[in-house]
């Protein structure tokens, strides 16, 4: 039976770096945000977003993602509305992905809002990646070419590290990348031992 491990962390924590490290160790990783981006280009989801948020968010069939982000990260109700459109579609996609990877003893599902969505209940174990607030802010400003205010808005729409850690089985502190990778390797060893015991 495949063990499904949830991997999460706030924006800018470096969870994708950790996900890539798992992947390079031969563990299949489902990056939910990347898949959601692709799913948001499907006709079914585009129509649902148009209905909920209006045609002005589109240039032809292309969704203006920055405009949508601006709306949802400043309005919890709108964010909830968007999640109700996208999450079920991602869930269906992941189900199929799992079928395609059923030969693997361990798979990783990486998502920023694992707890906020309630999706964490569907996993065998949870790993949270943490990092100091200022490091997170700087990483996102550089990565997304955005402002400090916008980054803080997104951070404030998510759970705190303390909330995530309290519900997690493992924590990777991502300050020094080499130390974080070593911690990831340690966790992987533990996961493999646990899997062998099943």
Residue list for the binding site for ATP? 12-17
How many C-beta neighbours within 10 Å does residue 185 have? 11
Domain with 161 in it: what CATH number?
A: 3.40.50.300
Q: Tell whether 147 and 73 lie within a shared domain.
A: no
Q: Tell whether 93 and 154 lie within a shared domain.
A: no
**Residue at 34 is within a domain:** no
State phi, psi for 131 to the nearest 5 degrees: -160, 155
Range of the domain at 79: 41-100
pLDDT band at 198 (very low <50, low <70, confident <90, very high): low
Give the per-residue pLDDT at 137.
96
Closest CA to 131 of 6, 4, 17: 17
Cβ–Cβ < 8 Å for 139, 9: no
Last residue of a domain, one of 100, 115, 143: 100
How many whole angstroms separate alpha carbon 70 and alpha carbon 75?
9
Check whether 197 has a pLDDT greater than 80: no
Residue list for the binding site? 12-17
**Residue at 148 is within a domain:** yes
Q: Tell whether 119 and 154 lie within a shared domain.
A: yes
Q: Tell whether 128 and 93 lie within a shared domain.
A: no
Report the number of distinct structural domains present in the chain: 2
Give the per-residue pLDDT at 136.
96
Q: Angle CA(177)–CA(178)–CA(181) in degrees, nearest 5?
A: 85
**Residue at 35 is within a domain:** no
Q: Tell whether 93 and 114 lie within a shared domain.
A: no
Last residue of a domain, one of 51, 73, 100: 100
The pTM of this model reads 0.89
Q: Tell whether 138 and 49 lie within a shared domain.
A: no
Looking at every residue in the chain, the average pLDDT score rounds to 92
pLDDT digits (tens, 9 = 90+) for 123-176: 999 999 999 999 999 999 999 999 999 899 889 888 999 999 999 999 999 999
Cβ–Cβ < 8 Å for 28, 75: no
Q: Tell whether 134 and 189 lie within a shared domain.
A: yes
Q: Tell whether 113 and 94 lie within a shared domain.
A: no
Q: Tell whether 120 and 157 lie within a shared domain.
A: yes
pLDDT digits (tens, 9 = 90+) for 69-98: 888 878 889 988 998 999 899 999 999 999
Q: Tell whether 72 and 156 lie within a shared domain.
A: no
Residues 6+ apart with CB under 8 A from 183: 172, 173
Give the per-residue pLDDT at 1.
83
């Amino acid at each position: 039976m495949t063990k499904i491990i949830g991997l999460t962390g706030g924006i800018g924590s470096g969870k994708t770096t950790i996900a890539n490290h798992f992947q390079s160790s031969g563990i299949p990783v489902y990056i939910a945000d990347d898949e959601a981006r692709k799913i948001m280009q499907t006709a079914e989801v585009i129509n649902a977003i148009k209905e909920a948020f209006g045609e002005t968010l589109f240039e032809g069939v292309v969704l203006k993602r920055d405009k949508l982000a601006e709306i949802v990260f400043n309005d919890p109700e709108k964010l909830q509305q968007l999640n109700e459109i996208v999450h079920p579609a991602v869930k269906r996609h992941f189900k199929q992905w799992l079928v395609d990877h059923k030969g693997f003893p361990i798979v990783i599902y990486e998502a920023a809002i694992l707890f906020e969505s309630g999706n964490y209940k569907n996993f065998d174990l949870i790993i949270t990646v943490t990092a100091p607030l200022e490091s997170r802010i700087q990483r996102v400003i550089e990565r997304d070419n955005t402002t400090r205010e916008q980054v803080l808005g997104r951070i404030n729409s998510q759970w705190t590290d303390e909330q995530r850690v309290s519900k997690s089985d493992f924590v990777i502190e991502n300050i020094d990348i080499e130390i974080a990778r070593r911690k990831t390797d340690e966790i992987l060893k533990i996961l493999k031992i646990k899997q062998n015991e099943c």
